[in-house]
Amino acid sequence: MESLKKNTDFKNCYECGTSFVNRYLVLYMCGNGLGIDRVGITVSKKVGNSVVRHRTTRLIREAWRLHEGEFQTGDGGTDFVFVARVRAKGIPYRQMEYSLLQLMKKAGCIEMVRK
Protein backbone atom coordinates (compact mmCIF):
# COMPACT_ATOMS: atom_id res chain seq x y z
CA MET A 1 0.00 0.00 0.00
CA GLU A 2 1.41 3.35 -1.06
CA SER A 3 0.56 6.33 1.13
CA LEU A 4 -0.15 9.93 0.29
CA LYS A 5 2.26 12.06 2.28
CA LYS A 6 2.45 15.52 0.75
CA ASN A 7 -0.09 18.21 1.52
CA THR A 8 -0.23 19.12 -2.18
CA ASP A 9 -1.35 15.58 -3.04
CA PHE A 10 -4.16 15.79 -0.48
CA LYS A 11 -5.22 19.24 -1.72
CA ASN A 12 -5.20 18.06 -5.32
CA CYS A 13 -7.47 15.15 -4.43
CA TYR A 14 -9.86 17.44 -2.51
CA GLU A 15 -10.08 19.98 -5.32
CA CYS A 16 -10.03 17.81 -8.45
CA GLY A 17 -11.41 14.56 -7.11
CA THR A 18 -14.84 13.04 -6.87
CA SER A 19 -16.32 12.64 -3.40
CA PHE A 20 -18.54 9.97 -1.90
CA VAL A 21 -20.07 10.14 1.57
CA ASN A 22 -21.63 7.81 4.09
CA ARG A 23 -22.28 7.90 7.83
CA TYR A 24 -18.69 7.42 9.02
CA LEU A 25 -16.36 8.32 6.13
CA VAL A 26 -15.88 10.65 3.20
CA LEU A 27 -13.93 9.36 0.18
CA TYR A 28 -12.19 11.62 -2.30
CA MET A 29 -10.67 9.95 -5.35
CA CYS A 30 -8.85 11.23 -8.39
CA GLY A 31 -6.48 9.86 -10.99
CA ASN A 32 -2.76 10.37 -10.42
CA GLY A 33 -1.19 9.08 -13.65
CA LEU A 34 1.55 7.24 -11.73
CA GLY A 35 0.30 3.72 -12.40
CA ILE A 36 -0.11 2.98 -8.68
CA ASP A 37 -2.93 3.48 -6.20
CA ARG A 38 -2.15 5.64 -3.19
CA VAL A 39 -4.15 6.06 0.01
CA GLY A 40 -4.34 8.98 2.41
CA ILE A 41 -6.24 9.02 5.68
CA THR A 42 -7.32 12.14 7.55
CA VAL A 43 -8.78 12.16 11.04
CA SER A 44 -9.57 15.57 12.50
CA LYS A 45 -9.09 16.60 16.12
CA LYS A 46 -12.89 16.85 16.28
CA VAL A 47 -13.00 13.04 16.28
CA GLY A 48 -11.12 12.80 19.57
CA ASN A 49 -7.73 12.78 21.24
CA SER A 50 -4.64 11.26 19.65
CA VAL A 51 -5.42 7.75 20.88
CA VAL A 52 -8.87 7.80 19.30
CA ARG A 53 -7.57 9.36 16.08
CA HIS A 54 -4.80 6.79 15.68
CA ARG A 55 -7.20 3.93 16.37
CA THR A 56 -9.56 5.25 13.72
CA THR A 57 -6.66 5.55 11.27
CA ARG A 58 -5.55 1.98 12.00
CA LEU A 59 -9.07 0.65 11.41
CA ILE A 60 -9.31 2.38 8.03
CA ARG A 61 -5.81 1.26 7.02
CA GLU A 62 -6.49 -2.36 8.01
CA ALA A 63 -9.82 -2.48 6.16
CA TRP A 64 -8.05 -1.12 3.07
CA ARG A 65 -5.18 -3.61 3.39
CA LEU A 66 -7.45 -6.63 3.65
CA HIS A 67 -9.59 -5.69 0.64
CA GLU A 68 -7.05 -3.93 -1.56
CA GLY A 69 -6.94 -6.83 -4.03
CA GLU A 70 -10.70 -6.63 -4.65
CA PHE A 71 -10.67 -3.02 -5.88
CA GLN A 72 -10.73 -2.36 -9.62
CA THR A 73 -9.28 1.09 -10.11
CA GLY A 74 -7.83 1.06 -13.62
CA ASP A 75 -4.27 1.15 -14.91
CA GLY A 76 -3.47 4.86 -14.63
CA GLY A 77 -3.35 4.90 -10.84
CA THR A 78 -5.72 6.54 -8.41
CA ASP A 79 -5.36 8.57 -5.22
CA PHE A 80 -7.85 7.81 -2.46
CA VAL A 81 -8.29 10.07 0.56
CA PHE A 82 -10.48 8.84 3.40
CA VAL A 83 -11.70 11.46 5.86
CA ALA A 84 -13.16 10.15 9.11
CA ARG A 85 -16.29 11.91 10.28
CA VAL A 86 -16.97 12.67 13.94
CA ARG A 87 -19.44 9.77 14.12
CA ALA A 88 -16.58 7.34 13.43
CA LYS A 89 -15.33 7.78 16.99
CA GLY A 90 -15.29 4.44 18.78
CA ILE A 91 -17.04 2.31 16.17
CA PRO A 92 -15.99 -1.35 15.92
CA TYR A 93 -13.80 -2.67 13.12
CA ARG A 94 -16.63 -4.44 11.26
CA GLN A 95 -18.62 -1.21 10.97
CA MET A 96 -15.56 0.65 9.67
CA GLU A 97 -14.83 -2.13 7.18
CA TYR A 98 -18.42 -2.12 5.93
CA SER A 99 -18.37 1.66 5.64
CA LEU A 100 -15.17 1.62 3.58
CA LEU A 101 -16.49 -1.12 1.29
CA GLN A 102 -19.76 0.75 0.86
CA LEU A 103 -17.88 3.85 -0.29
CA MET A 104 -15.75 1.84 -2.70
CA LYS A 105 -18.95 0.38 -4.15
CA LYS A 106 -20.42 3.88 -4.58
CA ALA A 107 -17.19 4.86 -6.35
CA GLY A 108 -17.54 1.90 -8.71
CA CYS A 109 -14.34 0.20 -7.57
CA ILE A 110 -15.95 -2.95 -6.18
CA GLU A 111 -18.99 -4.92 -7.23
CA MET A 112 -20.41 -6.45 -4.07
CA VAL A 113 -20.38 -5.48 -0.43
CA ARG A 114 -20.62 -8.28 2.13
CA LYS A 115 -22.35 -7.72 5.44
Q: Which H helix or E strand runs over 50?
A: helix 50-67
Tens of each residue's pLDDT in the chain, 115 residues:
789 999 999 999 999 989 999 999 999 999 988 889 999 999 999 999 999 999 999 999 999 999 988 888 777 889 999 999 999 999 999 999 999 999 999 998 887 666 6
pTM of the model: 0.92
76 lies in a domain?
yes
What's the CATH number where 48 sits? Answer: 3.30.230.10
Q: Domain span at residue 27?
A: 2-106
28 lies in a domain?
yes
12 lies in a domain?
yes
